[in-house]
Amino acid sequence: MVNLPEDNLLPIQFLSATFKKTSATYKYYWFLSFLQLLEEEGLRIEKRRIFSRMLSNAWYTVNYFKVSFGKQDKIQETISFFHRERGIPVDLNQNQVWNQILSLNDLKSISALSHFDNQVPHWFLSPWFPNLNKNQIYFYSRDPKRKSLYFLDQHHIEINPEWFQYLLKNSAILKSFCYWNLSLFLQKHNPNVPDIPNKLIKPINRSNLNKNKLEFWNLYFDEVNEHRCIYSNIPLTKENYVLDHFVPYNFVSHNLNWNLVPAHSSTNSSKSDKLPRLEQLFEPFFDIQKRSFEIVFKKAPKSWVIEEYLTIFPTIDGLLDETLGKLRFKETLQPLITIAHNNGFEYYGQE
């Protein structure tokens, strides 16, 4: 839990209460976005710039990891509009997405952003103004007795100067407070989706799989005469294979070895973040996992990679219990694939 820094002159309890009643992600992305723009632009911030930043902050979580925001939340729908109907590419960075959204001035794009004006700028201030309606919150936001976080206008907000230094000084803590509450909200709406906190911000670099290759899969290839890609049937060697995440990394958000399989580079590219069809691929996938585990266990029984298997693979002296192991492995994979598909991940290949 992130506790906010105290201040004797400011009603910090109201800021702490902003996320107590939320049915959508708007407040989280609004707070995060205006903090970012406060640091970049100062006290007066155009609402449209904040709404566009909200979408760019959520762009990666929606498009890459396909995390559900809930039925009442329009951020996913709006992001889909800007991607599909306005052609903003999925793989742009946050600032590029933000600038492209801001550059669109057609009526439909403006309308898509204006939806958030009816939802978040005034309701975010509800702890300061309990039981007041939208028009009343706008009117009283400038009342100095209320010490509102910001003042509301039709097209912009203005950060209350009394809060300005507090927000700047504690920006990192406030962003952590926001991300913490956002992750709790999304985990509640995605109870079976793993590792929600690491799906909120796009990492600069994803960790590579070199250690998995050197300390596990190369040992396997040293022992086998032939291995074929389970997707394409192309022959693989120690020199030409790449590692594929059987269940996409975009969903599982980890590099555990039991979810990796050698593949041909062309197949790895075409599969991308698509899901395997278990009815076609489970048997060959299990077969290579069993063979590779047993080979590497003999060569390096104390390897850190071996430990990653022990929670799902029952073993006796380094040999898998094939019947029970197959059952447990399928019970591990099937729910992941079903949930990922329900969240929007597509299947790879023909039925």
Per-residue pLDDT tens over the stretch 67-119 = 989 888 999 999 999 999 999 998 888 999 999 999 999 999 999 999 999 99
pLDDT at 51: 98
Give yes or no for a contact between 122 and 135, defined as CB atoms under 8 angstroms apart.
Answer: no
Q: What is the mean pLDDT of residues 4-28?
A: 93
Give yes or no for a contact between 152 and 138, defined as CB atoms under 8 angstroms apart.
Answer: yes
Q: Which burial class, exposed, middle or buried, applies to 146 when counting CB atoms under 10 A from its CB (0-12, 13-18, 19+)?
A: middle
Better pLDDT: 275 or 198: 275
The mean-pLDDT minimum among 30-44, 146-160, 201-215 falls in: 201-215
Residue recorded with tokens 């907000």: 157
Per-residue tokens: 52 = 């566009």
Over pLDDT 70: what percentage of the chain?
A: 96
pLDDT at 130 over 90: yes
321-348: string of b/e by CB count within 10 Å (b at 16+)?
Answer: eeeebbebbeeebeebbebbeebebeeb
- In the chain, which ranges are E strands? 44-46, 150-152, 156-159, 227-228, 235-236, 241-245, 260-264, 315-316, 319-320
Mean of all residue pLDDT scores within the chain: 90
Q: At what angle do helices 47-63 and 26-41 cross, to 10 degrees?
A: 120
Question: pLDDT-derived band of residue 168, with 50, 70 and 90 as boundaries?
Answer: very high
Give the end-to-end CA distance of the chain in Å, rounded to a whole number.
46
Q: What is the separation of C-alpha 83 from the centre of its chain, rounded to a whole number of angstroms?
A: 17
Question: pLDDT-derived band of residue 186, with 50, 70 and 90 as boundaries?
Answer: very high
d(CA 134, CA 261): 55
This prediction has a pTM of 0.75
DSSP code at position 247: S
What's phi and psi for 259, nearest 5 deg? -105, 10
d(CA 22, CA 70): 11
Give yes or no for a contact between 125 and 149, defined as CB atoms under 8 angstroms apart.
Answer: yes
Give yes or no for a contact between 92 and 100, defined as CB atoms under 8 angstroms apart.
Answer: yes
Task: Tell me the three state secondary structure of residue 152.
Answer: strand
Q: Which burial class, exposed, middle or buried, applies to 307 when counting CB atoms under 10 A from its CB (0-12, 13-18, 19+)?
A: exposed
pLDDT per residue as tens digits for the range 193-246: 888 988 887 765 567 899 999 999 999 999 997 889 999 999 999 989 999 999
Better pLDDT: 32 or 21: 32
Q: Which of 29, 19, 334 is nearest to 192 (CA)?
A: 334
pLDDT at 86: 95
- List the beta bridge partners of residue 150: 159
